[in-house]
Structure formats: C-alpha cells, structure tokens
C-alpha cells in the first residue's frame, strides 16, 4: 500500500524547512521592529466568519472553501485566509478596549483553498500576514506598506514592485459600481457565468475574473480613480505623500482589485519582477477594510493589513538565486568504543547538550570508521573518542576536525573544553 499526500499539499523536508525558518524569523523580526505582536487563531472557524466578511460573490466562498459539518452538525470551514479570523478574535476578546491602540498584530500559518494546484498555488498554503486595527490615519497605511517591503528587503529580494490603488469609501464604490454595470451590461452575455451572476451583485469582481481577463471591455472599464469623492481622493493623496516622504517607490494601477469584498480605500499588491519567476507575479496583497469588524459584531473599526504566501516568496528567492541551504552541522560527535564506553557516552552526551552544545552520537552500533564517517556527514567541528582505555583513565581524545589537532582531555573538564574551544579558545 503506497499512501501519498493529498493533491495540492506538500511535505517540507529538512534542507527545505530551514528556508522557511529563515523567512519566518526575518518577517517576525521586522514585525517586532514595527511593534506588531503575534496572534494565533484556530485553523478552522464557524463558516459564517468567512461568508460574512470575505463575500458570498467571491471565488473563495463560492468555489474554494473547505467546509464541513462537525459531529454537532455545526458548519465549520478551514480558514481560507487570515484577516477574518484575526477580526473575529479582535471582536471576541474586545481588543478594541485595550489601552494601546491601534492593535497591531502579525500571524503565520496554513490556509486552505480548493484550487487547481499549480506552481506557487497549493490547496494548503502558508501565509504570513499583519493587521493594524483601530486607526484611520493614512500614516498607518504607509507604515504597513513600509513593513512588507522591509520584509522582502530583509530576506534579500530586490526585484519587487509595490502597486497601489484606491477603492474609495462606500459612496465612491457605489458610484463606481453603477458605472461598471453600465459598462459591462450590454455585452455581459459574452462573459462567463460567474461574471454574469456578479454583474448586479458585485460588478467589481468581474475585474478580478481569471477567465475573461483578455476581454476588450476589461481594459476600457471605468476606473475607480475617476469616481473617488473628495474625501477618498484626499485620503489616497495623503497615503502617497507619506510614501514619498520615506522614499518608498510605488506605481498606481487603477485596475487593481483585491479578491475579497471587505476592502475599502487603499489596496495594494507587491509584484515579483525577477526573471524566471513565472506568469503569476503577485507576491503579496492587502488593503484597508474599514467595515470588516462591524460585520462580525464589533464596533466601527478601521483596519489595514496584508498577507503573503511563503511558498511564493521562496519561488522569488529561487528565481533570484538567493536560496542557499547550509549543510547540517554539529559542534561535537561522540565516538564510543566498547559497551561500557557506549553506556558512559549517554551521560556525556546529555551533559554536552545541557551546556548548550549541539552534539550527537552513534545509535546503530557502527564500527569506529563508520562513526567517523557519520561525524563527517554531520560536519562535526569536534569528534571525541571514548574507548575502554580512555574510560579507565578518566580521559577522552578530542579531535578538531578543521585543523586535525588532537588532544587528550580529562573527562571532568571535557565539556568546559569544548565550550571554550567553540568560543575561539577564550576562557570563561
């Protein structure tokens, strides 16, 4: 019986997992620099968390969610994105009542969407995201944009482009909505069934259609920027002014539409521009969602955030030849010869690890030559040989694998010796 992993999932093995750890550590470091704190939410939520926020006309809700009934006949859904879960937690735990505002959070973890698997798009994928809730200041938009670009800079990616648009407030979006209906309605029969259904419910989603993206009416569709009211236009101008002040480059794309219904005002994507990345160049997406918290029963709360796929970030790193996985290495490998020495090596190995030293030993009863080969495969800095004679004399032979130098050390001083040598031979 040969059981494989489900389609659209992956095993991240040693050698690859270190790349993930590197990205996660760098992203968390940047978030802490910006005073964002981590939040962890459940992998599954009540289905209405997503239907009420993501939008019932989106592909995510209509086609992609993993929804099931539990043993109590409750509708639950594996989270397809992180923002709605964070907003639910924000409301449930009344984070809006905390003294420190805005509430600035980051998260990372698996998300689930039933899509056709392809390069950089899995059915289980991992997102890293941030949310800043509680401020309507355009400066927080600029901060979030600077934060995500700093993450890409920290991991080494330079061939990126920040793309901005404004979706306006409710009044602006309604005016744009009617203009889109008027634009598409005469020829809506030429579009797919999804677009025909969305025409009256949410025509903005037509601009996000993957099937009809090459239709001539797409390129001539009314721009939201032409329908921004004075307040929305002023807000967008302030966001751009802040970005100009900090020297963060961007381009404006009036056709940029995020795939979720809760966005208002600022919307953005980060695009990969490195050669060999592939056709789908979006690395990150986000925007402002001023009505989301209210949809989940909370007070009127402005918010802004983003999320990026770690899988796609790794693709960008590989496209720019920036991925270098270090070979495994340890500080010390114990070679034990004879039954008494093997037994004593267990305690010695424990003492090394208690002292903060990365150490290992043979567990396959290999001969001396095989144990030294194992030490080489692990790139051990030091190899220590403990045989019956050494044990009787309370000493151990220690070899520096880089220099070839070999010394004999009293067993009682062995751990301190390794610690000292790892520090460059300095005492203490």
pLDDT per residue as tens, the chain (428 positions): 789 999 999 999 998 999 999 999 999 999 999 999 999 999 999 999 998 877 766 678 878 999 999 999 999 999 999 999 999 999 999 999 999 999 999 999 999 999 888 777 899 999 999 999 999 999 999 999 999 999 999 999 988 999 999 988 888 888 888 888 999 988 898 889 888 888 887 787 788 777 888 898 888 888 888 889 999 999 999 999 999 999 999 999 988 876 556 678 999 999 988 666 666 688 999 999 888 899 899 999 999 999 999 999 998 898 888 887 777 899 999 999 999 999 999 999 999 999 999 999 999 999 999 999 999 999 999 999 999 999 999 999 999 999 999 999 999 999 999 999 998 865 44
Contacts 24+ apart (CB under 8 A), 241-246: 242/138, 242/139, 242/141, 242/142, 243/142, 243/145, 243/146, 246/142, 246/146
Instruction: Please tell me the pTM assigned to this model.
Output: 0.87
How far is 111 from 133, CA to CA, in rounded Å? 21
Q: Are 138 and 242 in contact (CB under 8 A)?
A: yes
Among 150, 167, 159, CA closest to 247: 150
How far is 7 from 18, CA to CA, in rounded Å? 24
| pLDDT value of position 261 | 61
How far is 86 from 168, CA to CA, in rounded Å? 23
| pLDDT value of position 428 | 42
Direct distance between the N- and C-terminal alpha carbons of the chain, in angstroms, rounded to an integer: 56
Helix (H) or strand (E) holding 45: strand 44-46
């Amino acid at each position: 019986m040969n059981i494989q992993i489900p389609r659209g999932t992956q095993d991240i093995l040693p050698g690859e997992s270190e790349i993930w750890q590197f990205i996660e550590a760098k992203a968390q470091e940047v978030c802490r620099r910006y005073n964002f704190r981590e939040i962890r939410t459940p992998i599954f939520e009540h289905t209405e968390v997503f239907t009420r926020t993501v939008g019932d006309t989106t592909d995510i809700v209509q086609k992609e969610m993993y929804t099931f009934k539990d043993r109590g006949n409750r509708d639950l859904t594996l989270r397809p994105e992180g923002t709605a879960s964070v907003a639910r937690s924000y409301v449930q735990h009344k984070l809006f009542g905390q003294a420190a505002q805005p509430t600035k959070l980051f998260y990372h973890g698996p998300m689930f969407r039933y899509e056709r698997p392809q390069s950089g798009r899995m059915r289980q994928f991992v997102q890293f995201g941030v949310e800043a809730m509680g401020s309507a200041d355009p400066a927080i938009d600029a901060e979030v944009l600077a934060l995500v670009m700093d993450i890409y800079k920290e991991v080494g990616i330079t061939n990126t482009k920040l793309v901005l648009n404004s979706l306006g407030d409710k009044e602006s979006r309604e005016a744009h909505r009617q203009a889109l209906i008027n634009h598409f309605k005469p020829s809506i029969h030429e579009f797919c069934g999804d677009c025909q259904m969305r025409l009256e419910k949410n025509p903005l989603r037509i601009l996000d259609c993957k099937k009809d993206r090459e239709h001539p009416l797409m390129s001539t569709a009314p721009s939201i920027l032409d329908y921004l009211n004075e307040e929305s236009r002023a807000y967008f101008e302030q966001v751009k002014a802040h970005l100009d002040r900090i020297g963060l480059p961007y381009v404006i794309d009036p056709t940029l539409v995020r795939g979720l219904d809760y966005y208002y005002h600022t919307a953005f994507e980060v695009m990969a521009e490195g050669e060999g990345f592939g056709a789908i160049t979006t690395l990150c997406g986000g925007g402002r969602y001023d009505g989301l918290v209210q949809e989940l029963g909370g007070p009127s709360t402005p918010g802004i955030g983003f999320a990026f796929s770690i899988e796609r970030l790794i693709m960008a790193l590989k496209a720019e030849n920036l991925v270098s996985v270090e070979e495994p290495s340890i500080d010390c490998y114990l070679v034990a010869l004879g039954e008494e020495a093997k037994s004593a090596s267990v305690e010695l190995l424990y003492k090394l690890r208690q002292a903060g030293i990365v150490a290992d030993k043979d567990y396959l009863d290999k001969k001396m030559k095989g144990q030294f080969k194992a030490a080489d495969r692990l790139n051990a800095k030091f190899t220590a040989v403990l045989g019956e004679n050494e044990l009787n004399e309370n000493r151990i032979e220690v070899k520096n694998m880089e220099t070839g130098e070999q010394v004999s050390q009293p067993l009682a001083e062995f751990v301190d010796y390794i610690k000292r040598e790892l520090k460059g031979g300095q005492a203490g």
